[in-house]
Structure 1
Amino acid sequence: MSQSTSVQTPSWTSESIFALVGVFALSIRLVQGWIFWGGASRRLFYDFHSIHGTEYAVKMDPHVAGYVANKLVHAMPGSVFPGLIQTIIQSGGFLHFMVWFWTIAELIVGVGLILGIATRILALGSVGLNISLMLIFGWMGSTCVDEWTMASAGFAMGATLMLTGGGSWSLDHWLGRMSPALSNRSWFRLLFSGPLSVSATKKWGVILGILSLLFTAAFYQYIHGAVISPLHARVNFHHYSLSLKGASADTNGDVRFFAYVNAGPDTAKLYLIKADLINGEGQNVEQWSGQQLTAISSKNIDNRFTQAWASRFSATDYGIGGVTGAKAWIRLPGNTHLASGNYKLRLTDIDGKHWSTVVTFK
Structure 2
Amino acid sequence: YFMKKNYAFTKKKWFAWLGSGVLPIKDRLFPKIVLAGALFIFGLTLYTNQVFHGGVWGTLHNKSVKPKLEITEGKIDHNGLSFDVYRTEGVDVYGAWMIDITLTDAQGDTVINYQQDDLASMDKNLIDNYYIAKVKPGAHSLIIPLGAKANINFKDEVLMNLPKGEYTLKITDISGANWDHSITK
The TM-score with structure 2 as length reference comes to 0.77
* Partner residue in 2 for 1:72: none
Cα distance 1:218–1:313, how it changes in 2: closer, same or farther (>3 A)? Answer: same
* Partner residue in 1 for 2:153: 331
Of 59, 71, 75, the match for 1:244: 71
Of 109, 121, 129, the match for 1:283: 109
Higher fraction of strand:
2
1:355 paired with 2:182, answer no
Please identify runs of 4+ aligned residues in structure 1 that moved more than 6 A. Answer: none
Asked whether the equivalents of residues 251 and 338 of structure 1 are also in contact (C-alpha less than 8 Å), the reply is no
1:263 paired with 2:92, answer no
* Partner residue in 2 for 1:145: none
1:313 paired with 2:135, answer yes
In the comparison of the two structures, how many residue pairs are matched? 171
**What runs of 5+ residues in structure 1 fail to find an aligned partner?**
1-183
Displacement of 1:204 after TM fit? 4.3
* Partner residue in 1 for 2:119: 293
Displacement of 1:205 after TM fit? 5.0
Give percent identity, aligned residues only: 24
The TM-score with structure 1 as length reference comes to 0.42
Displacement of 1:188 after TM fit? 7.7
Asked whether the equivalents of residues 275 and 287 of structure 1 are also in contact (C-alpha less than 8 Å), the reply is yes
Displacement of 1:284 after TM fit? 0.6
Asked whether the equivalents of residues 13 and 24 of structure 2 are also in contact (C-alpha less than 8 Å), the reply is no
Cα distance 1:197–1:275, how it changes in 2: closer, same or farther (>3 A)? Answer: same
* Partner residue in 2 for 1:20: none
The one-letter amino acid of 1:343's match is Y
**What runs of 5+ residues in structure 2 fail to find an aligned partner?**
1-10
Of 223, 226, 229, the match for 2:52: 223
Displacement of 1:326 after TM fit? 0.8
Cα distance 1:194–1:316, how it changes in 2: closer, same or farther (>3 A)? Answer: closer
Asked whether the equivalents of residues 99 and 172 of structure 2 are also in contact (C-alpha less than 8 Å), the reply is yes
After superposing the two structures, state which structure 1 stretch, 323-332 or 291-300, moved more: 291-300
SS at match of 2:170: strand
Q: Deviations over 1:308-342 (max 9, x none)?
A: xx311012221221211111111122221210011
Q: Deviations over 1:274-307 (max 9, x none)?
A: 21111111111111222322232222111011xx
1:211 paired with 2:40, answer yes
Higher fraction of helix:
1
Cα distance 1:348–1:359, how it changes in 2: closer, same or farther (>3 A)? Answer: same
Asked whether the equivalents of residues 170 and 179 of structure 2 are also in contact (C-alpha less than 8 Å), the reply is yes
Q: Deviations over 1:11-52 (max 9, x none)?
A: xxxxxxxxxxxxxxxxxxxxxxxxxxxxxxxxxxxxxxxxxx
- RMSD over aligned CA atoms reads 2.8
Q: Matches of residues 94-105 of structure 1 in structure 2 within 5 Å?
A: none
